Amino acid sequence: MIQIFTKTNELKKHLTQLKNGGKIIGFAPTMGALHNGHLSLIAQSNNQCDITASSIFVNPTQFDNKEDLVKYPDTTRKDITILDAKGTDILYLPTVEEVYPDGTKPTIDFDFGYLTTIAEGAYRAGHFEGVAQIVSILLDIVTPHKIFMGQKDFQQCALVHQLIRFKQIDTEIVVCPIIREADGLAMSSRNMRLGDQEREKAIILSQALQWVKKNYANANIADLEEQAKTMINETEFCKADYIEIRDRTTLKPIADNSIKDNVVVLGAAYVGTVRLIDNMIIF
């Protein structure tokens, strides 16, 4: 039976007891509106750890677009039932005041430099600073042995990797593969906001990335990125923000397509007013 904690000190006390008893703690942070992508994180944690903890907290500091925050789906009751059914042991469900007793101003001292200024960072000012802030707080509270994160947020995973290095903690990050709908659309809580016709067209993002992967050897990097963007822009309701071919570790641009190691293509596009992201590992 899932145990729900709204108070940080009670959660910490409980986790300390478990850790003192030798339990391995896995942690999957979420903002709720759960889908199968999240549930794959829970499943992996259940496989690899003794205790699976999760959190539902819609973190206000990572929303560069306040409308996104207001419109963020609230399905907490349903989420709790699902988490319980999937074998989650602990849920941290705090209020904003509980997480940010001194207010939601930026508190992170680390400088992620490059990582926060490209791709998503370039389009969403302050977003990654907010993510780093909340993940840092959650890591301090839960101090898990492993944190499970979805590859769909590729840049976020790279950031959390770096955050763990900065904090010099022993938590291991486990990046779990993207879970896709039958037609290829990456699962996302934002998909719920797509109208029927938009939903149909939204697959162009994963198709464009797939196209880049397939044609990587046949064109230069700039042309691959341009053509993928054109594919998206020529689709009704869709507008590409970026398609970028990058090194998987540093996220630096790839010089040319003779590089056949550690390459990812990252993409973001609007479908109607909903902004979607996706990525595909090329090598």
Q: Is 37 in the site for ligand PAF (CB under 6 A)?
A: no
Q: Which of residues 102-121 bind ligand PAF (CB under 6 A)?
A: none
Distance between CA 137 and CA 148 in Å, rounded?
Answer: 16
Q: Which is nearer to ligand PAF, 56 or 205 (CB)?
A: 56
Residue range at the interface with ligand PAF (CB under 6 A); choices 25-33, 70-78, 237-245, 271-279: 25-33
Radius of gyration of the chain (CA): 19
Nearer to ligand PAF, 190 or 229 (CB): 190
Binders of ligand PAF among 49-78, rule CB under 6 A? 59, 62
Residue matched to tokens 């600073």 = 129
Catalytic residues: 38
Per-residue exposure over 75-90, b if at least 16 CB sit within 10 Å of its own CB, e if not? beeebbebbeebebbb
Least distance from ligand PAF to the Cβ atom of residue 131, Å: 5
Helix locations, 54-153, DSSP H: 66-71, 76-85, 96-99, 114-117, 120-123, 127-142
Contact residue for ligand PAF among 11, 25, 31, 91 (CB under 6 A): 31
**Helices and strands (H and E) in the chain: how many:** 12, 9
Applying CB under 6 A, does 45 fall inside the site for ligand PAF?
no
**Interaction between residue 30 and ligand PAF (CB under 6 A):** yes
**160 alpha-carbon distance from chain centroid:** 10
Residue range at the interface with ligand PAF (CB under 6 A); choices 3-11, 27-35, 41-49, 261-269: 27-35
Helix, strand, coil proportions of the chain in percent (round to 5)?
Answer: 45, 20, 35
Q: How far is the CB of 215 from ligand PAF (least distance, A)?
A: 30
Q: Which contiguous run of DSSP H or E holds residue 44? A: helix 36-48
* 136 vs 257, beta carbon nearer ligand PAF: 136
Residues that bind ligand PAF (CB under 6 A): 29-31, 59, 62, 131, 134-135, 153, 156
